[in-house]
Amino acid sequence: MDKQRASILPGGILAAWIGALKRKPKRSIAPSLAELGRLSREQQAIRKCSQVLVRAEDERTLLEDICRVVCEVAGYRMAWVGYAENDGSKTVRPAASAGFDEGYLDQARITWAESERGRGPEGSAIRSGESAWVQDFADDPRAAPWREDALLRGYRSGIALPLKDERKKTFGSLNIYSAEPGIFDAGEIQLLEELSRDLAFGIVALRAGAERNLVEERLRESEEKYRTLFEESFDGLYITSPDGKILDMNKKGIELFGYDNLGEIQELDLVRDVYAFPPDRHRILGMVDEKGAAEYEVVVKRRGGGLMTTYCAMTAIRDQRGGISAYRGIIRDITGIKNAEEKLRESENRYRRITECITDYQYSVTVSEGRAMETVQGPGCVTVTGYSPEEFAADPYLWFRIVAPEDRELVQDYVKRILSGRETPPLEHRIIRKDGGMRWICDTTILRKDSSERLLAYDGVIKDITERKEAEKRLQKNLLEKEALLQEVHHRVKNNLNVISSLLNLQSSFIQSPEDAIKAFQYSRDRILAMAFVHQELYQSKDYGRIDIGTYLAPLTKQLAGLYCSDPSIRVESDIGNIALDVSFAVPIGLILNELITNAFKHAFPSGGPGAIRIAFRQDGADFYEFSVSDTGIGISGCGAEPRMGSLGLTLIRLLVQQINGVLSTACDHGTCIKIRFPSKYGTE
C-alpha cells in the first residue's frame, strides 16, 4: 500500500530535496556549523514528509502532519495551510497548523482579495498562483497589517506556496514562518515549492479517493436500498429481456407465480409459460416500445396452470445508443379485485332489475301550523312520475299539477284531511307523467305527531297501481262478458230448444211411414249437429260476441261429407273470406248452410261423380254479406229468384232466410247455385 502511494508522487520528495540542496549556492567554502545543522534537519524533514505523504489516510491528518514536520523537523517557527474561500470577503480559511501560533491565525484575518489584508504573501500566492514571501516582517510594507503580532510571536520572515489542483487552479496555500530574516533564498524556495506541489497532489489524490469512496459508498447504499425495496415490495417487481426471458424478480413476484426461487422463474419463457394468451406480449411490447412505458391488465399463468388477472406497469430500459436492452416493471395480482368487481356488477344488475320492477317511492312532508312547508321526494319518483327529486324541489306545486284534472278535487280533500291531523285511508287517483302518459297511483300516509298530538309531518308511499287497475278493468269487462254470456247461454238454450222443438214438429208433418221417421231423426241429428258446431266455435273463441265463419264451416263440411258422400271424385271447394259474424246470425246461418250442403251431397250427383260442391262467403259492401252453395250436378226444377219450396229442407231455408232479413235466389246453369244476401247487422232490412 505504501509503495503504491509513493509511486503516485511526481518525482518523489526525497529527490526534490536532494536536488535542491545540490543547487543551493554556498555561502562559504566551508559551511558553518549552523548550516550543517540546518541541512541535517532538512534531510530529516524530507524523509518525514515523504513518509507522511505515502501513509496519509485523510486530508486533515495529512495537512496537520506536514505542518508538524515542517516545524518540528525542519525547524520553522510556524506552518499552516489555508484554503481560499469564495465568500464575499474572499477569506483564507486556516485548515491546519503547527508550531508557535498563540492565536495569530485567529486575529490575522487574511484574505486573497485586492485589499490591504490580501496583499500579504498568502493572498498574493493564491491570486497569482506563484510563490510569494516576506524576507523581514520588521520592514516589508506588505506585512504592515500583521507586523506587530508577527514580531511578537517571533516571526521574522514568511513564505506562501500555492496549492493547485489537476486543472492548475489555486485552491489554497502552504504558509511557513521562520524566526530568522532573509532565510528564503532561491534554493530554499525551489525546495519548498516541490513540497507544496507534492502536498497539493496528495490533497487532490485524497479528495479524489474520498470522493470515489463516497460515490462507491453511496452506490453501495443505493444498491442496498434498491435491493431492500426490490425484495420487500408488496408488489411483484421484475426485469425481463427483449427476447422474452426473466432476468430478475423479487420475492413477491416469485410468490405470485407460485414458484420457490429465482432460478425456477429464470427458466420460464414469457410467451410459452407466462402469458395466458401469447398475442398479449406482442401487443404490450408495441405499447411500451412506442411510448416508453405502459400500464395494462393481462391474464397470466401461475405454476400448475392456474390463471391470474394482473395489473402491470412496464418501462423500457435503453442503452447509450437508444436501443432497448431490457424491460422493468411492476406486477400486482388483481384477481380478487376483478372477482369482487364482477360480483359488484352482478349485484348492481340485480339491484337495478329489482328497482326497475319496484314502482313504489317515498316522500316526506314537513308541517307547521297546519300547512305543508316542505316536501322531499324519494329517488323512485322518476320511475313513477318521470320527474326527478330535483325537479320536485324546484317546483313546490309540481306534485299537484301532475294530478289528473278529474281527480284534483279528490286529492285536495285528501290532503286537507291529513293536514287536519286525521288518519286517512289510502287514496287511489290518476297522475299525468312527464312524458304525457296516464298512471294510476295509490297514496298511503303515516302521520308524525308530537306528545301533544300536534301534527309535525307525514310520510307517504306512492305505489304505481296502473297494472292492477288495468287488470281490474279487464276483469270487470270479462265479468260483464261472462254475465252477458250466461244470459246469452240461457237465452240460446231456450231458443235452440225451441228451434229443435219447431224442427221436430215441422219434420213430423212429413212422416208417412217408419222409413220417413228414421230419416226424420237423421235430418234432425244433422241440424242439431250444425247448431252444436256454432256453440263449439263460440266457447273456444276469445270473443263471445262473434264467430269466425271459416273456422265454423270446416268441421261442418267434413262431418256432412262423411255422412252423405262416399265418392272421392266429388270435391268440396271453399272461397271464404276473413269474416267474423255477429253471434245472432250464427244458428240460422249454420242451419241454412247445413241444409244446402246436405241437399247438394244427397241430390246433386245421383249417378256419382266426378263433380264439385263450392261454398262461397263474402262481404258485399259495408252493410251486407252474401254466401252461396253451388254444385256441378243435375240441378233442380223450378229455378228462379224465389223457387217453389216443396221439401222440408227448402221450407226451413226459406224461414231462416226470412229470420235474418235475407234474400234468396237460385241459378241452374250447369248445376245449381243457391245464393243468399243478408244485412250485416241483425234485425235490419
Residue 369 has pLDDT above 80, yes or no: yes
- Residue 162, preceding peptide bond in cis (omega within 30° of 0): no
CB contact set of 569 (below 8 Å; sequence gap of 6+): 608, 609, 610, 611
Name 318's bridge partners. 324
Average pLDDT over residues 276-294: 91
Residue 543 has pLDDT above 80, yes or no: no
C-alpha 324/C-alpha 316 separation (Å) is 6
Average pLDDT over residues 517-534: 66
**Range of weakest confidence among 112-121, 278-287, 502-511:** 502-511
Identity at 455, one-letter amino acid code:
L
Residue for cell digits 400486482? 332
Nearest 10 degrees: CA dihedral of 353, 356, 359, 363? 110
367 grid coordinates: 308541517
As a whole number, the mean pLDDT across the chain is 82
pLDDT at site 21: 40
- The DSSP line for 220-279 is HHHHHHHHHHHHH-SSEEEEE-TTSBEEEE-HHHHHHHT-SSHHHHHT-BIIIIIBSSTH
SS3 311: strand
Give the confidence band of 514 by pLDDT, cuts at 50, 70, 90: confident
pLDDT at site 219: 79
**Range of weakest confidence among 30-44, 228-242, 272-286, 409-423:** 30-44
Residue for cell digits 416508453? 292
C-alpha 431/C-alpha 410 separation (Å) is 12
Residue 253 has pLDDT above 60, yes or no: yes
Using a 10 angstrom Cβ sphere, with 0-12 exposed, 13-18 middle and 19 or more buried, the burial of residue 483 is exposed
C-alpha 666/C-alpha 643 separation (Å) is 7
pLDDT at site 185: 86
- The DSSP line for 438-452 is EEEEEEEEEEEE-TT
pLDDT at site 485: 64
395 grid coordinates: 317546483
Element at 136 (helix H, strand E): none
Residue 539 has pLDDT above 60, yes or no: no
Residue 6 has pLDDT above 60, yes or no: no
pLDDT at site 357: 60
Give the confidence band of 78 by pLDDT, cuts at 50, 70, 90: very high
Average pLDDT over residues 471-485: 82
> What stretches of 410-522 adopt beta strand conformation (E)?
427-432, 438-449, 455-464
Residue 523 has pLDDT above 80, yes or no: no
C-alpha 413/C-alpha 492 separation (Å) is 49
Identity at 468, one-letter amino acid code:
R
Q: Rank 150-164, 521-535, 651-665 by mean pLDDT and report only the highest.
A: 150-164
pLDDT at site 545: 65
Average pLDDT over residues 629-644: 68
C-alpha 1/C-alpha 55 separation (Å) is 8
559 grid coordinates: 262431418
Cα–chain-centroid distance for residue 13? 77
C-alpha 466/C-alpha 437 separation (Å) is 11
Task: Tell me what percent of the residues of the chain surpass a pLDDT of 90.
Answer: 38
Could you give the angle at the alpha carbon of 177 between the alpha carbons of 174 and 179, nearest 5°? 160
Strands 611-620 and 570-576: parallel
Average pLDDT over residues 473-481: 85
- The number of residues in the chain equals 685
C-alpha 683/C-alpha 574 separation (Å) is 28
Cα–chain-centroid distance for residue 457? 42
Give the confidence band of 15 by pLDDT, cuts at 50, 70, 90: very low
C-alpha 485/C-alpha 88 separation (Å) is 119
SS3 sequence of 360-372: EEEEEEEEECCEE
Give the confidence band of 52 by pLDDT, cuts at 50, 70, 90: confident
CB contact set of 389 (below 8 Å; sequence gap of 6+): 376, 377, 378, 379, 381, 382
Give the confidence band of 49 by pLDDT, cuts at 50, 70, 90: confident
pLDDT at site 538: 53
Q: 404, 430 in Cβ contact below 8 A?
A: yes
Q: 193, 161 in Cβ contact below 8 A?
A: yes
Residue 131 has pLDDT above 60, yes or no: yes
Could you give the angle at the alpha carbon of 411 between the alpha carbons of 407 and 415, nearest 5°? 175
C-alpha 133/C-alpha 139 separation (Å) is 13
C-alpha 412/C-alpha 538 separation (Å) is 48
pLDDT greater at residue 390 or residue 493: 390
pLDDT greater at residue 27 or residue 33: 33
pLDDT at site 537: 54
C-alpha 229/C-alpha 69 separation (Å) is 50
pLDDT at site 12: 41
SS3 501: helix
Number of Cβ atoms within 10 Å of the Cβ of 573: 10
Radius of gyration of the chain, Cα coordinates, nearest whole angstrom: 63
Residue 507 has pLDDT above 90, yes or no: no
Average pLDDT over residues 589-606: 80
pLDDT at site 137: 95
**Range of weakest confidence among 437-446, 466-475, 524-533:** 524-533
Residue 473 has pLDDT above 60, yes or no: yes
Residue 493 has pLDDT above 70, yes or no: no
Average pLDDT over residues 392-399: 90
SS3 13: helix
Exposure string of 32-65, with b = 16+ CB inside 10 Å and e = fewer, is eeeeeebeeebbebbebbbebbbebeebeebbbb
173 grid coordinates: 496555500
Element at 670 (helix H, strand E): none
Residue for cell digits 523537523? 73
Give the confidence band of 609 by pLDDT, cuts at 50, 70, 90: confident
pLDDT at site 600: 81
pLDDT at site 499: 61
Average pLDDT over residues 92-108: 94
Name 582's bridge partners. 546
**Range of weakest confidence among 248-262, 328-342, 490-504:** 490-504
pLDDT at site 38: 61
pLDDT at site 261: 93
Number of Cβ atoms within 10 Å of the Cβ of 281: 16
Q: 631, 600 in Cβ contact below 8 A?
A: yes
